[in-house]
Chain A
Amino acid sequence: MRRDRRELLLRIMALDFTALELNLYLDTHPRDARALEDYNKVTQELFTLRQEYQERYGPLIHFGHGFSKYPWQWIEEPWPWEMTF
C-alpha cells in the first residue's frame, strides 16, 4: 500500500478509535455533556476524513455508505487482513 494511503487510513483508524471509546463511555454516562460534545466533534472530523479516503480509494463501508467508481471498487484488494503497516 502506498504511503499516503496508509497515512490517511491510520488517521481514520485513530479517530475511529477515539469515537469508539467515547461511545462506550457515553453508553454508561449518557448525560456527560462534555464527552458528548467531544464525540460529535470527532464524528464530524471522521466524516470529512472518510469522505476524502473514499473519493480516492473507494468505499470504506459497504451497503450504501460510500460511492464507487467504475468498476465496482468495494472488492478491490487489499482486504484488511492483507494490509501490511
Chain B
Amino acid sequence: MAELYRKMQLARAYVPFQQYTRRFEPFDGLMRGTIFPELFMPYRPKEMIGRSEG
C-alpha cells in the first residue's frame, strides 16, 4: 500500500483494481445486480445520515 502511494501523483483520481476470487451463483447474482461479492453495495435509505427525509 505504501508502495502504491509513492507511485500516486497529485491531481489524479485512482480506483483500486478489483481482484476476482469468487462469485455469486448465476441467479443470485442477477437478483443482486452483480456477481461479485466485493462490489455488492446495496442501497439502504434509512442508513443515510444528515438527510432531511431521515
Q: Are A and B in direct contact (Cβ within 8 Å)?
A: yes
B14 interfacial by beta-carbon distance below 8 Å: no
- 1/0 per residue, CB under 8 A from B, across A5-31: the answer is 000001101110110011001001100
A26 and B6 alpha carbons, distance in the complex (Å) = 27
Q: Interface residue count for A (Cβ, 8 Å)? A: 17
- Closest residue of chain B to A42 (Cβ to Cβ) is B26
Interface size of B as a range: 10 to 19
A17 & B35 in contact (Cβ 8 Å cutoff): yes
B18 within 8 A of partner (CB):
yes
Whether A29 pairs with B17 at a CB distance below 8 angstroms is: yes
B30 in complex: contacting residue of A17, A25, A32, A38, CB < 8 Å: A17
Residues of A with C-beta under 8 A to B30: 13-14, 17-18
Question: Chain B: residues with CB nearer than 8 A to chain A?
Answer: 17-18, 20, 23, 26-27, 29-30, 34-36
